[in-house]
Chains A and B, each alone.
Chain A
Amino acid sequence: MTPASAIATRTVVCAYDDLTPDLGVAALVGGVQVALFRLDDGSVRAVQNLDPFSDAHVMSRGITGSRGDVPTIASPIYKQVFSLITGECLVTMDKQPRAGHAADLAVYPVTVDNGQVIIDLVSAA
């Protein structure tokens, strides 16, 4: 969990117009790989790019969707589905995450300011 004393670092990653609806992109923010998604409703979501079930940095290449009202992202490797709101793993496909990884994704706050996409990367450092 995020410690209370965490320092928030706001980083501009790209222009909002660079994002295509439903097509994710990866961003490298201070050595951390982040997957960014612009959804149908225009909102932008950011989660860790690391897929905890395959140990590969590929979440940005997954398929967006919804489960009920929750926007989701599916891993392109083993198809686990995660909430883009909470990062919670909604469908594990009956698999365990790789050793050392939590099943849920870290979620990063995103803001769009002046046409720029800004990520708040909360560093535990």
Chain B
Amino acid sequence: MGAEKVVVVGAGMVAQRFVQSLRAGDAEGRYAIDVIGEETFAPYDRVALTSFFSKAGPEDLLLGDQALWDDPAVTLRRSTRATAVDREAATVSLDTGERLTYDHLVLATGSSAWAPPLPGIDLPGVFMYRTLDDVAGMQAWVRERQAVVGRPVRGAVIGGGLLGLEAAGALQSMGATATVVEFADRLMALQVDKSGGEALKSLIERLGVKVKTSLATTEVVADAEGRAGTLRFSDGSEQLVDVVVFATGIRPRDDLGRGAGLAVGERGGIVVNDTCLTEDPRVSAIGECAAAAADGHLSIGLIAPGNAMADVTAHRLLGREEAYLGADTATKLKLLGVDVASFGDAFATTPGALEVVYSDPFSGAYKKLVMTDDASTLLGGMFVGDASAYAQLRPMVGAELPGDPSSWILPEGAAPRPELELPDEATVCSCNNVTAGTIRHAVNEDGVHDLGELKACTTAGTACGSCLPLVKKILTTELGKAGIEVSQALCEHFELSRAQLFSAIQVAGLTTFSEILERFGTGHGCDICKPTIGSILASIYNGHVLADDRAALQDTNDRVMANMQKDGTYSVVPRIPGGEITPDKLLVIAQVAKDFDLYTKITGGQRIDLFGARLEQLPQIWQRLVDAGMESGHAYGKSLRTVKSCVGSTWCRFGVQDSAGMAIRLEERYRGLRSPHKIKVGVSGCARECAEARGKDVGVIATEKGWNVYVGGNGGFAPVHAQLLVEDADEETAIRAIDRYLMLYIRTADRLQRTAPWQAEYEGGLDAIREVILDDSLGICADLDAHMVHHLDTYEDEWAAVLADPDRLKQFTSFVNAPDTADPSLAYVEERGQRRPATASEKVQLVGAATATTHPEEN
């Protein structure tokens, strides 16, 4: 079957879009396309015309993939004009004398620049601003005049709309001066209101462009040589010029349609219905030459609606009926570096509409939001000078705007902007009419995971690009939601995040790594997923950290229940709840330190760390500590470290509650509780806060009436002070709140996520957490409580258990074949009466050749 012939008259941006859209959906080659273009170029980006001056050449403005024009199904005829359409015969006549027959005709002739019929408009030095040829002609003229007059060329632009300002910018970049003459009382009268126009004027003038408003041009007067020399205005004034650019608007190029007897709109444009079809079912019209029903049969001079019409027409030809819904006249432009944007009901014509305005003439910003009378729903807006909020706000038109509307227009940082979740149907890219839903679909269903792919797949952000920040945000959010982001998936073995895995393991009731891996993962696991699952299992079942197959899951620290130091030896840290220690225990610790020659340091966690214990020494050391009634301090675990406290009301004259007692109670309650990261708790006996509890994950501070509980404090890279969770609570209430807080954290936090970021990222923040644990908004409190009770019921000292189990003791050997030999590479020097690991250079001296032999195969 032969291909149907589609003839496209016009080779502008809309024509290009139509061809692209049709080809993309026509894999079987139903259609052969002829494109008839007047210009010598393939379709180029007219919107970016001004950049012609800053870029190398017209090629840079070419649109899309040029391979489109190499497609055998597409024939592009450049420098060719269609002269007539014979609808009876279904042919198009060309100025080459050819005659093309068509099955479908698509008129995309666009518009032409319109200039008022002023005397002198045909003088040399007067230009229009519409095509690359116009611009090139203008550039040549300015260059030539510059060389002759020996001073900057005086330029004037008639028309202060969008194109006029573009033209002024073009003049400036050619080195000419520019004055913009506007008939209306402000620049860009169609897009901005009076105040916005004033802001724009002052910004434009700051750039060196003169602006005259409320002024009509009556004549271009020739100079002695017959070139454009003077402009004469309606108020009698005059201005000397060397070049004049008319940017007084455009008119649809509907003459072909007219000639073919097609209906034409009142103000021009070929009349089409909602599917862009003219009265002739074989003729469509798209873009600026069309006057669509949805636009009230007016021609629209913007690219976005043109693209939409192109798509609607292409899809119709491909058998998919869609309707063109009318233009979204939202605009965002960068004119001479000045941001101007306007969208929705920018002029507040809706009855009762409120205007929230921020204007700052110094920074040049004018910003306005138009809201419904109850200030809840966004109707439109206008931005001059700073349009940073445009991308996020435009799609919200008609939707409820959360938070204080003024936060969107105040200078960055003045008021926090609420987070927006766009509805699926909200348009994100208006150039290419891509909705938030389409983007989400691409991410979730089509597996698109990066911005480049996403652009290619949805065409979002490929035209003007102003929506890209928003597209990126949606992408990130969706990836985050879907847990697709690499950092959310635990590792290559588990696609789940820690929180998901936690639920999965809990629900499935699995207790071993191999079962879990089989059920939820792939491969053999690694150093990331193994400790995480070890921690989850410990959190859920609280069995011994070395029980079942768990030993191999653990980091060496958890595996040998000690904290590895840089030379491979370990620190030994017995628990000293609340820092309170009997002299007897102190003596045992000191004696152990002496006997094993361990470096001894009192820590900020209010206990004593002994450093430098070798693997095979650990059981002997712990035997003595356990015999003296001490237990593991879990300094090695992602679990409760210490509960720091001041001395409290028992001794201190300022203490109002027994902070040491409370600290000990908390430490004994949460000891051994495995969590996504280490947990530190502090208790202060009065508001002087000597325990620095607000720097801890959980801080408890005594009040006259009870306790205040603070949560989410953190030291480290980005220190954060803990925030108030409950106030003046009695001991039981405080403890219950902490129980639930910790359990919720353990269940839902990411791997290695501390409480501060967890809390900050928790949906709804601390308020939501408070609702969960105090008001049981999720109905899980009983579960959290039961979980904590289980933890308490099943707690046992890990070290005591290991010492009683010869099997587990086996791993505490230096060498499997020489269990009594110490690691021969260890070397120490004495400093301040104690030993410390030797530095590399010290080691060479100390161990000498002996060490060298232990290093195999050094290159």
- The residue on A at minimum CB distance from B513 is A22
A57 near B527: Cβ-Cβ < 8 Å: no
Q: Let me know if A109 is at the binding interface, CB within 8 A.
A: no
Q: A28-B821, A71-B524 are in contact. Are A50 and B556 (CB under 8 A)?
A: no
A28 near B817: Cβ-Cβ < 8 Å: yes
Which chain A residues lie closer than 8 Å to B372 at the CB level?
none
A57 near B568: Cβ-Cβ < 8 Å: yes
- The residue on A at minimum CB distance from B552 is A22
Q: In whole angstroms, how far apart are the Cα atoms of A63 and B526 in the complex?
A: 7
Q: Identify which of B527, B529, B552, B825 contacts A81 (C-beta below 8 A).
A: B527
Q: Let me know if A14 is at the binding interface, CB within 8 A.
A: yes
8 Å CB interface, A3-59 against B = 13-14, 18-23, 25-29, 31-33, 36, 39-40, 48, 50-51, 54-58
Which chain B residues lie closer than 8 Å to A68 at the CB level?
492, 523
Q: A32-B856, A57-B568, A76-B564 are in contact. Are A27 and B816 (CB under 8 A)?
A: yes
B568 near A58: Cβ-Cβ < 8 Å: yes
Q: Identify which of B555, B816, B856 contacts A26 (C-beta below 8 A).
A: B816
8 Å CB interface, B512-532 against A = 523-527, 529-531
A33 near B817: Cβ-Cβ < 8 Å: no
Q: In whole angstroms, how far apart are the Cα atoms of A26 and B815 in the complex?
A: 5
Q: A50-B855, A57-B825, A61-B559 are in contact. Are A72 and B526 (CB under 8 A)?
A: yes
Q: How far is the CB of A59 from chain B (nearest CB, A)?
A: 10
Q: How far is the CB of B569 from chain A (nearest CB, A)?
A: 8
Q: How far is the CB of A84 from chain B (nearest CB, A)?
A: 11
Q: In whole angstroms, how far apart are the Cα atoms of A19 and B811 in the complex?
A: 10
Q: In whole angstroms, how far apart are the Cα atoms of A33 and B855 in the complex?
A: 8
- The residue on A at minimum CB distance from B565 is A56
Q: In whole angstroms, how far apart are the Cα atoms of A74 and B527 in the complex?
A: 6
A32 near B854: Cβ-Cβ < 8 Å: yes
Q: How far is the CB of B730 from chain A (nearest CB, A)?
A: 44
Q: How far is the CB of B531 from chain A (nearest CB, A)?
A: 7
B552 near A62: Cβ-Cβ < 8 Å: no
Q: In whole angstroms, how far apart are the Cα atoms of A81 and B823 in the complex?
A: 23
Q: Let me know if A83 is at the binding interface, CB within 8 A.
A: no
Q: Let me know if B106 is at the binding interface, CB within 8 A.
A: no
A48 near B856: Cβ-Cβ < 8 Å: yes
Q: Let me know if B840 is at the binding interface, CB within 8 A.
A: yes
Which chain B residues lie closer than 8 Å to A48 at the CB level?
856-857
A61 near B526: Cβ-Cβ < 8 Å: no
Q: In whole angstroms, how far apart are the Cα atoms of A13 and B824 in the complex?
A: 18
A58 near B564: Cβ-Cβ < 8 Å: yes
Q: Identify which of B526, B815, B816, B856 contacts A65 (C-beta below 8 A).
A: B526
Q: Please report the number of residue pairs spanning A and B whose Cβ atoms sit closer than 8 angstroms.
A: 134
B526 near A67: Cβ-Cβ < 8 Å: yes
Q: Let me know if B378 is at the binding interface, CB within 8 A.
A: no
Which chain B residues lie closer than 8 Å to A22 at the CB level?
549, 552
B525 near A65: Cβ-Cβ < 8 Å: yes
B526 near A31: Cβ-Cβ < 8 Å: no
Q: Quick one: which of A39, A48, A55 has the most chain B CB within 10 A? A: A55
Q: How many residues of A contact B (CB 8 A)?
A: 50
8 Å CB interface, B681-739 against A = none
A31 near B853: Cβ-Cβ < 8 Å: yes
Q: Let me know if B818 is at the binding interface, CB within 8 A.
A: yes
Chain B interface bracket (under 10, 10 to 19, 20 to 34, 35 or more):
35 or more
A56 near B527: Cβ-Cβ < 8 Å: no
Q: Quick one: which of B529, B615, B854 has the most chain A CB within 10 A? A: B854
A67 near B854: Cβ-Cβ < 8 Å: no
Q: Let me know if A106 is at the binding interface, CB within 8 A.
A: yes
B526 near A100: Cβ-Cβ < 8 Å: no
A33 near B823: Cβ-Cβ < 8 Å: yes
Q: Identify which of A19, A25, A50 contacts B856 (C-beta below 8 A).
A: A50
Q: Let me know if B831 is at the binding interface, CB within 8 A.
A: no
B560 near A18: Cβ-Cβ < 8 Å: no
B564 near A65: Cβ-Cβ < 8 Å: no
B854 near A76: Cβ-Cβ < 8 Å: no
Q: Quick one: which of A18, A20, A26, A62 has the most chain B CB within 10 A? A: A26
Q: Let me know if A112 is at the binding interface, CB within 8 A.
A: no
Q: Let me know if B813 is at the binding interface, CB within 8 A.
A: yes
Q: Let me know if B859 is at the binding interface, CB within 8 A.
A: yes
Which chain A residues lie closer than 8 Å to B566 at the CB level?
54, 56, 77
Q: How far is the CB of B753 from chain A (nearest CB, A)?
A: 17
Q: Identify which of A29, A55, A65 contacts B527 (C-beta below 8 A).
A: A65
Q: How far is the CB of A78 from chain B (nearest CB, A)?
A: 10
Q: In whole angstroms, how far apart are the Cα atoms of A118 and B811 in the complex?
A: 20
8 Å CB interface, B813-840 against A = 813-818, 821, 823-825, 840
- The residue on B at minimum CB distance from A30 is B853
Which chain B residues lie closer than 8 Å to A100 at the CB level?
855, 858
Which chain B residues lie closer than 8 Å to A57 at the CB level?
568, 823, 825, 854
- The residue on B at minimum CB distance from A99 is B840
Q: A33-B825, A57-B854, A61-B559 are in contact. Are A13 and B526 (CB under 8 A)?
A: no
A61 near B560: Cβ-Cβ < 8 Å: yes
Q: Let me know if B567 is at the binding interface, CB within 8 A.
A: yes
Which chain A residues lie closer than 8 Å to B813 at the CB level?
25
A23 near B526: Cβ-Cβ < 8 Å: no
- The residue on A at minimum CB distance from B524 is A66
A64 near B552: Cβ-Cβ < 8 Å: yes
B815 near A61: Cβ-Cβ < 8 Å: no
Q: A57-B854, A106-B856 are in contact. Are A81 and B526 (CB under 8 A)?
A: yes
Q: Identify which of A32, A66, A101 contacts B523 (C-beta below 8 A).
A: A66
Q: Identify which of B524, B556, B858, B859 contacts A61 (C-beta below 8 A).
A: B556
B527 near A63: Cβ-Cβ < 8 Å: yes
Q: How far is the CB of A119 from chain B (nearest CB, A)?
A: 10
Q: How far is the CB of B418 from chain A (nearest CB, A)?
A: 37
Q: Let me know if B573 is at the binding interface, CB within 8 A.
A: no
Q: In whole angstroms, how far apart are the Cα atoms of A74 and B116 in the complex?
A: 78
Which chain B residues lie closer than 8 Å to A72 at the CB level?
526
B526 near A74: Cβ-Cβ < 8 Å: yes
Q: In whole angstroms, how far apart are the Cα atoms of A84 and B799 in the complex?
A: 31
Which chain B residues lie closer than 8 Å to A23 at the CB level?
551-552, 559, 811
Q: Identify which of A58, A98, A102 contacts B556 (C-beta below 8 A).
A: A58
8 Å CB interface, B577-594 against A = none
Which chain A residues lie closer than 8 Å to B568 at the CB level?
51, 54, 56-58, 61, 77
Q: Identify which of B554, B811, B854, B859 contacts A31 (C-beta below 8 A).
A: B854
Which chain B residues lie closer than 8 Å to A39 at the CB level?
524
- The residue on B at minimum CB distance from A74 is B527
- Chain A 84-124 near chain B by CB (<8 Å), digits 1 or 0: 00000000000000111110001000000000000000001
Q: In whole angstroms, how far apart are the Cα atoms of A102 and B668 in the complex?
A: 46
Which chain B residues lie closer than 8 Å to A28 at the CB level?
814-815, 817-818, 821, 824
Q: A31-B824, A40-B524, A106-B856 are in contact. Are A14 and B530 (CB under 8 A)?
A: no
Q: Identify which of B492, B556, B615, B853 contacts A62 (C-beta below 8 A).
A: B556
Q: How far is the CB of B629 from chain A (nearest CB, A)?
A: 29
- The residue on B at minimum CB distance from A37 is B552
B526 near A66: Cβ-Cβ < 8 Å: yes
- The residue on A at minimum CB distance from B523 is A66
Which chain B residues lie closer than 8 Å to A74 at the CB level?
526-527
- The residue on B at minimum CB distance from A108 is B856
A76 near B815: Cβ-Cβ < 8 Å: no
Q: In whole angstroms, how far apart are the Cα atoms of A67 and B858 in the complex?
A: 26
Q: In whole angstroms, how far apart are the Cα atoms of A106 and B856 in the complex?
A: 8
Which chain B residues lie closer than 8 Å to A76 at the CB level?
555-557, 564
Q: In whole angstroms, how far apart are the Cα atoms of A42 and B441 in the complex?
A: 45
- The residue on B at minimum CB distance from A54 is B566
Write 5 A-B pairs (CB below 8 A) sorted by A numbering: A23-B559, A55-B840, A61-B568, A100-B858, A101-B858
Nearest 4 pairs between A and B by C-beta?
A: A65-B526, A74-B527, A56-B568, A22-B552
Starting from the known contacts A20-B551, A25-B816, A66-B524, 10 additional A-B residue pairs (CB-CB under 8 Å) come to A22-B552, A23-B551, A25-B811, A28-B814, A31-B854, A33-B823, A55-B567, A74-B527, A77-B566, A100-B855
Q: Which residues of A contact B (CB under 8 A)?
A: 2, 13-14, 18-23, 25-29, 31-33, 36, 39-40, 48, 50-51, 54-58, 61-68, 71-72, 74, 76-77, 79, 81, 98-102, 106, 124
